[in-house]
Chain A
Amino acid sequence: MASSRVIDIADLSLTFETNDGPVHALSKVSLGVEKGDFISLIGPSGCGKTTLLRVIADLEHPTGGSISIHGMTPEEARLKRTYGYVFQAPALYPWRTIGKNISLPLEIMGYSKDERAGRVRKGLDLVNLTGFENKFPWQLSGGMQQRASIARALSFDPELLLMDEPFGALDEIVRDKLNEQLLRLWEKTQKTVVFVTHSIPEAVFLSTKIVVMSPRPGKIHDIIGCNFPRDRTLDIRETPEFLDVANRVRQGLREGHSYVD
C-alpha cells in the first residue's frame, strides 16, 4: 500500500512572521494522498487550503513537520517536474498564442520541436480547444482560458495535478460544464488531483476524499470519503447519497467555524 502513496504529510506547520506577530497559516496538518485520488481541500478563506497546496508545490516552505512527495522533498519533486499547477487565474502569457502557452513548460523543459507540436495537439484535444491553437488568450472566454491553462499544466504529463480554485472566477453554468469535463479528464488520464475550492457541490461532485479545513490556525477538521462511481454525471447531485455527503461537509464547515463567532 505504501508504494501507492503520492503525498505524505505529517504534523505540518507553517507560520508566517508578520509585523502584527506570527500568523499560523497551517497547524499540525496530517494527510495522505493515494495514487489516483481526487482530493478536495475545502474551507473558508484563511483556513490555509491554498497555503497547503503551495507547500506541496514547493512555492511555500513549511516551518515544522514533514512532507514527502513520492518519497522526495517538495523541492526535489519540483525539480523532477512531478506536478502541474493550475492557478486561480489562467495566468496565460498574453503575448503567446494558446498553442505557444501550452508549449511553454515544454520549451523550458527542453522538449524537441516535434515533441512539443505533438503534445500541444494532444493537450488542445484533451480540453476541447482544437482549432484555437493560434488564437491569443484575449480572444477566448474565461472558461476556455482556464481549460487552456489545464492543458498547459498537463502538457508535460506530470503525475500530480494541483488546482487552486481553478473555476472560482467563472459563472455557475460554465463551472458545472468544466466540472464534468475535469471529471472525464481525470478518468481518462488517471492523474492524482489535489483541488482547492470553497464550493461544497463542486467538492462533493469531483472528489474521492474531501478535506474540510478550519481557520485560525489553519488545520484539518475532518476528512470525508466520497466514492461515487467514476462515470458519474451532474445528475447525481439530486440523489440522497450526494446530499448526505454535502450535508456532512456543511456540518464540518460549521463546526470548524463555531469557535470563532
Chain B
Amino acid sequence: MLTSLWSGKTLPVIVVSTILVVFWYVGSIYLNGDMQRDAFANANKTDYTLSEFIKGTWTQERPKLPAPDQILSELYKTVIDTAPTSKRSLVFHGYVTLSATLFGFLIGSVLGMILAILVVHVKSLDKSLMPWVVASQTIPIIALAPMIIVIMNQFDITGLVPKSIIAAYLSFFPVTVGMVKGLRSPDPLQLDLMRSYWASRVQIFFKLRIPASVPFLFASLKVGVAASLVGTVVAELTKSEDGGFGARLLAGSYYGQTIQIWSALFAASACAWALVTLVGILDRLVTKAMGAR
C-alpha cells in the first residue's frame, strides 16, 4: 500500500509540501523572534511561556516572514470576502494583471513567430537579426520597463498597452528561439522527399516546417506565458496607478505590509501556474490531433 503510494505522485507531493510548510513555520519563529522579544519587553512582560512566544511570532501584524496561515487568511479575505470591484480585492488586481499579460503574450507570440519565420527563410537575417534578439534579453527588464512606459506616455499611449509591450518584450524571445529550432527540425530525408516532388518553398513551409515546429512552439509558449506575467508585474511596479499584482506588491512594501506582499506573490504565482497549465492542455489537444502517442 505504502510502496504503491510512493511510486505514485500523491504521497511524494504531500511529503515535500509538508516539509516545506514545517520549515516555513520554524523560519517564522526564527525571523520574527527578535521583534516578538521586543514586543514583550515593551509591554514589560517577562514571564511569557514558550508557547506564548511561538504563537506571538506567528500572529504579528507586520512580520518579517508571515506564517502560511496568515497568508492564507489574507488571501481568503482579499479574494473571497472582498467585492471584486474594490481596489482591495485581489480579484480586481488579478484581472488587471491578467488582461495585460494575455494581451502582451498575444503580441509577443505573434511577433516571436514572425521573427522565427524570417530568420529561418532569409539567410542574412539569421546573421543580422538573431544577435539583436539575444541582446534584447540581456538588458534587465526592471531597468528598461520605466523607460518604455515614459516613452510611451510621451506618445499618449497609456493604460494596458505599455504594460503589454513589456510583457511581449519578455515573451517573444522563447517563442522565437523555440520556433526557429522547430522550423529547422525536419531531417534531410523529410526534406529530400519534398524535393523529389518538386515542392515549392511555400509548400515545404506549410506541409513540413510548420507541423514539425508545433511541439517546439508549445514548449516555448509555456515559458513565454509565464515570462509575460513577470513582465506585466514588473511594469506595474512603475505604472502602479492602474492596480495589478505589481501595484499591490509596491504598496505593500511602502507600508511594510509583508502579509499583503506575500499574498500578492501567491496570487501571481497561482495565475502563472494556471496560464502554463492552460497552454499545456492546449498543447496536449493539438499534439493528440497530430498523432502524438
Q: Which residues of B contact A85 (CB under 8 A)?
A: 192-193, 196
Q: Is the CB of A57 within 8 A of B291?
A: no
Q: Is the CB of B291 within 8 A of A107?
A: no
| Chain B contact surface mostly | helix
Within 79-127 of B, Cβ neighbours of A (below 8 Å) are at none
Q: Is the CB of A93 within 8 A of B195?
A: no
Q: Is the CB of A95 within 8 A of B196?
A: no
A39 to chain B, nearest CB (A): 18
Contact status of A94 and B198, CB under 8 A, knowing A59-B192, A107-B207: no
Within 119-165 of A, Cβ neighbours of B (below 8 Å) are at 136-138
Q: Is the CB of A81 within 8 A of B192?
A: no
Is B18 interfacial (CB-CB < 8 Å)?
A: no
Contact status of A95 and B203, CB under 8 A, knowing A81-B197, A85-B193, A108-B197: no
Is A91 interfacial (CB-CB < 8 Å)?
A: yes
Is A78 interfacial (CB-CB < 8 Å)?
A: yes
Q: Is the CB of A91 within 8 A of B190?
A: yes
Q: Is the CB of B189 within 8 A of A89?
A: yes
Partner of B214, one of A59, A84, A95: A95
Within 167-198 of A, Cβ neighbours of B (below 8 Å) are at none
Q: Is the CB of B195 within 8 A of A59?
A: yes
Interface size on A, residues (CB 8 A): 26
B216 to chain A, nearest CB (A): 13
Q: Which residues of B contact A78 (CB under 8 A)?
A: 195-196, 198
Is B144 interfacial (CB-CB < 8 Å)?
A: no
Within 195-219 of B, Cβ neighbours of A (below 8 Å) are at 195-199, 203, 207-208, 211-212, 214
Contact status of A91 and B189, CB under 8 A, knowing A59-B196, A78-B198, A97-B291: yes
Is A205 interfacial (CB-CB < 8 Å)?
A: no
The size bracket of the interface on B is 10 to 19
Is B22 interfacial (CB-CB < 8 Å)?
A: no
Cα A85 to Cα B189 with chains together (Å)? 11
Contact pattern, B 275-293, Cβ under 8 Å of A = 1, otherwise 0: 0000000000000001101
Is A104 interfacial (CB-CB < 8 Å)?
A: yes
Contact pattern, B 161-196, Cβ under 8 Å of A = 1, otherwise 0: 000000000000000000000000000011011111
Partner of B193, one of A58, A79, A87: A87
Q: Which residues of B contact A81 (CB under 8 A)?
A: 197-198
Q: Is the CB of A95 within 8 A of B291?
A: yes
Q: Which residues of B contact A89 (CB under 8 A)?
A: 189
Measured CB to CB, the nearest residue on chain A to B200 is A108
Within 77-122 of A, Cβ neighbours of B (below 8 Å) are at 78-79, 81, 83-85, 87-89, 91, 93-97, 104-105, 107-109
- Complex A-B, nearest 9 residue pairs according to Cβ-Cβ distance, in ascending order: A136-B291, A95-B290, A91-B189, A85-B196, A95-B211, A108-B197, A108-B199, A105-B197, A95-B291
Chosen A-B contacts, 28 in total, with CB atoms closer than 8 Å, are A57-B196, A59-B192, A59-B195, A59-B196, A78-B195, A78-B196, A81-B197, A81-B198, A85-B192, A85-B193, A85-B196, A88-B189, A89-B189, A91-B189, A91-B190, A93-B190, A93-B208, A94-B290, A94-B291, A95-B211, A95-B214, A95-B290, A96-B211, A104-B197, A108-B203, A136-B291, A138-B291, A138-B293
Residues of A bordering B, CB below 8 Å: 57-59, 78-79, 81, 83-85, 87-89, 91, 93-97, 104-105, 107-109, 136-138
